[in-house]
A and B are shown apart, each in its own frame.
Chain A
Amino acid sequence: MNALTLWFHKLGSPPYFYRFAGRLLPWLYGASIALAAPALWLGLFRAPADYLQGESVRILYIHVPCAWMSLFAYLAMAGAGFVALVWRIKLAELIAMAAAPVGAAFTFVTLVTGSLWGRPTWGTYWVWDARLTSELVLLFLYFGVIGLYRAFDDPRRGARAACLLALIGVVNLPVVHYSVVWWNTLHQAQSVSLMSGSSIHPSMLVPLLLMALATHVWFFASVFARARIATLEQEAGKEWVRELARAGSTA
């Protein structure tokens, strides 16, 4: 067994993951803030205001990366769920269930920033646009996964059921998206297009990409932090957790 597969197998063991994630977390949070700070500064102060949308275009430096993350988090959750169901790795269940609330939060932020941006731009907080509607449906799918996980008395059984639901959702996600697009073109002669044909200037692209990186790193930090605590809860009563608690109470 080579070093990488050995490390991967070790990572599946809860005590090893607990220590590993604990060491990794400060770096992840640090990197995320280090990326987000210049992105916010560039986006909120340096990037030019749009000649049509004015200063409100700056919301998009948060809105767009969050929208990307809302999808990425769902795919990550479903991927971890697949690993959990096929190889029955406990840690993958915890990762998948940790990703669900984080993804839901990103989706919620996307919807809120989008409606705040829509008020000055479209003149209304909400339109039944294809993108908005499918984002809303994505939020419902997250709620379903979280709700199913919480409904079970046995958290492991709940996690496995929720992982399966996430997989069903991932099959359904493109269907939902394209059916909503189709529905929208049926009802509206022309949908409001965000950046019609114009290529993005580097002064706008750099903060956008920095922010996208920052949200990705933040996502992993947040998921690891949640999974770390979930590990402790699940392994409560095991020897290594007791030792940890004893060390914590004496220190």
Chain B
Amino acid sequence: MKAGSTASAFVAVLRRDLVVFWRHRSDALNPLVFALIVVTMFPLSLGPESQRLAPIAGGVTFVTVVLASLLSLDALFRSDAEDGSLDLLVTSGQPLALIAAARLLAHWLGTGLPLTLAGPLFATLLGLPYAAAATLAGALALGTPLLSLIGGACAALTVGLRRSGILLALLVLPLTLPVLIFGAGAVEAAASGATVQVPLLFLAAGLALALPLAPLACAAAIRLNVS
């Protein structure tokens, strides 16, 4: 890989983000702990009977994952915008969409992947059958990258603000509803013995659509905000 090439820029951004993530690895636990706390709230508010919790376990877990993936979005571009490194990335001459894609990939590895691994465990805590938990793992594997992509585009839109606060959630959540519908739909289909292929394929189609489009939207939003 030649120094200064586009591929090396991609790898450099990815490596730097992963190193930063690793240095602050205790922060990375926060979304997981948050998700676990939210999951704990459901038995406490609805009652501990498994016949009441088991039917909603998949949906509750998916909502929890969507909320937990919101937490780290604000930090995605903000610190870079504040210390000026975002301007350097914009003026580096490398395709900004690809750099944004590297950042989003690192975000998914740091937030989406742990949630994908922990989600089925949380759902079984609520009494989701093991067979449906496997489907949940598949739905999360397809859904969490989508959450990172959509969330990343919205985070880039708010990077020019001093604080995005609750506004970012207001922007991201309506756009992530299809992910929630198909993800939770797949789990419900699995729990009721129906075919899980259709919602999972829809999720995969959404991922195929968002994978090229979201980094482009991200790049356009960053350009609007730093220029």
Chain A residues at the B interface, C-beta cutoff of 8 Å: 85, 137, 140-141, 143-144, 147-148, 151-152, 157, 160-161, 164-165, 167-169, 171-172, 175-176, 179-180, 182-183, 186
Contacts and interface: CB of A to CB of B under 8 A. Distances in A.
Given A164-B224, A168-B153, A147 B171 contact: yes
Interface string B185-227: 1001100000000000010001000000100010011001100
Given A143-B170, A147-B170, A175-B178, A183 B185 contact: yes
Contact of A141 (B153, B157, B174, B181): B174
Given A171-B213, A175-B206, 20 more contacts: A141-B174, A144-B171, A147-B171, A148-B167, A151-B167, A152-B160, A157-B160, A157-B224, A157-B225, A161-B160, A164-B217, A164-B220, A164-B221, A164-B224, A165-B154, A165-B157, A165-B171, A176-B177, A179-B178, A182-B202
A243 to B, nearest CB: 32
Contacts of A186: 185, 188-189
B157 A161 contact: yes
B188 A140 contact: no
Given A152-B161, A179-B182, A137 B177 contact: yes
B225 A148 contact: no
A153 B161 CA distance: 8
A164 B178 contact: no
A161 B224 contact: yes
Contacts of A85: 220
Contact of A161 (B170, B213, B225): B225
Given A137-B177, A140-B173, A147-B167, A168 B161 contact: no
B148 interface: no
A168 B215 CA distance: 12
Given A148-B157, A148-B158, A151-B161, A160 B224 contact: yes
B175 interface: yes
Given A164-B220, A176-B177, A182 B185 contact: yes
3 residue pairs, one from A and one from B, having the closest CB atoms = A179-B178, A140-B174, A183-B181
Contacts of B171: 144, 147-148, 165
Contacts of A172: 175, 178
Contacts of A176: 174-175, 177-178
Given A157-B224, A161-B225, A171-B213, A144 B170 contact: yes
A151 B160 CA distance: 10
A141 B213 CA distance: 19
Contacts of A151: 158, 161, 164, 167
A195 to B, nearest CB: 26
Nearest to B189: A186
B87 to A, nearest CB: 15
Contacts of A140: 170, 173-174
B189 to A, nearest CB: 8
Nearest to A181: B181
A182 B161 CA distance: 37
Contact of B181 (A148, A165, A179): A179
